[in-house]
Structure 1
Amino acid sequence: MNHARWKLARERKIAAGAAGYGESPEVEAVRTEIRLAFDLGQAVHDRRTRLGISQTELAERAHMTQPQISRIELAGTVPTLPLLARLSEALGASLNIALDGGVPTVTLSPTAPRD
C-alpha cells in the first residue's frame, strides 16, 4: 500500500471511529490538513501526468528534487508558498486553494503560454 493510500485509509478509520461522537477541534484540524495535503498532491500528480512529464523533469523545472515532488504527490508534506509558486509555474498552471465553506478545494488550472 502506497503512502497516500495508507493516509486515506487511516483518515477513513478515524472517521468511522468518530462517527456519531462529534470531533474535537484538534481532530478536525488534522483532518483538514490531511485533506488539503492529499488534494494538493493529487492536483500536482494529475497535472504532471497530463503534461506527460516525470517527477524528475518536474523537479528540474521547479528547481526541486525528485523526492520532494514525490512527497508532495503522496501528501507527505505541505510546501511553503514560495515553493508552491515555483511548482505551479513549472506546471504551467495557476494554483487555486479555496478555504471557504468548510470544505477546502485545490485546483491547478492551465495558464496561457507566455511569449
Structure 2
Amino acid sequence: MNHSRWRLNRERAIAEGGAEAPGVEAMRTEIRLAFDLGQAVHDRRIELGISQSELARRANMTQPQISKLELGGAVPTLRLLARLANALDASLTIALDGDTSSVVFTAHAA
C-alpha cells in the first residue's frame, strides 16, 4: 500500500469514528517538532551560507549528526540546542502551545 492510499484509508477510518492506536498522535507531535527544529536549523545555516560540515565544526558535532538533525531524525538535548544557537550566531526561541509550535533562530545584532 502506498503512502497516499494509506493516508486516505486512515482519514476515512477516523471520519467514520475509528480511532488510531494509542500513542500515535503523541508520536506524530514529536516527529513534527523534530522536523520543525530541523527546518529552522537548515534555514539559518543556509542564511549564513555555511555547509553542514562547517556547522558541525562550530557546534562540535559531526556532519552526519547535523544532517540527521536537519531531516528531523533527532531530538536534541537543551545543551545541544544551546551549542547550535551559539554556532548559528543566533538566539533560539521555541514556542509550544497545544498542537502548534514555532522554532525560530534570530540572528544576533551585528
Same topology, TM > 0.5:
yes
Partner of 1:98: 95
Partner of 2:10: 17
When the two structures are superposed, what TM-score results if normalisation uses the length of structure 2?
Answer: 0.82
Q: Tell me the distance in 1 between the aligned counterparts of 2:86 and 2:76.
A: 14
How many aligned residue pairs are there?
A: 103
Q: Tell me the distance in 1 between the aligned counterparts of 2:82 and 2:60.
A: 11
Asked if 1:110 corresponds to 2:100, the answer is no
Partner of 1:35: 32
**Structure 1 residue corresponding to 2:58, chosen from 42, 56, 61:** 61
Q: Tell me the distance in 1 between the aligned counterparts of 2:65 and 2:28.
A: 22
Structure 1 gap ranges (5+): 1-9
Give 3-state SS (helix, strand or coil) of 1:107's partner: strand
Partner of 1:86: 83
The AA in structure 2 aligned to 1:79 is P
Q: Tell me the distance in 2 between the aligned counterparts of 1:111 and 1:16.
A: 47
CA RMSD of aligned residues (A): 2.1
The AA in structure 2 aligned to 1:17 is R
Q: Tell me the distance in 1 between the aligned counterparts of 2:107 and 2:48.
A: 10
Shift of the alpha carbon at 1:60? 0.6
Shift of the alpha carbon at 1:16? 6.0
Q: Tell me the distance in 1 between the aligned counterparts of 2:86 and 2:22.
A: 35
Structure 2 gap ranges (5+): none
Q: Is the CA contact (8 Å cut-off) linking 2:94 and 2:104 kept in structure 1?
A: yes
> For 1:1-53, what per-residue CA distance to the aligned partner results, in whole angstroms no more than 9, with x for missing partners?
xxxxxxxxx6xx55861442344551111011000010000000000001000
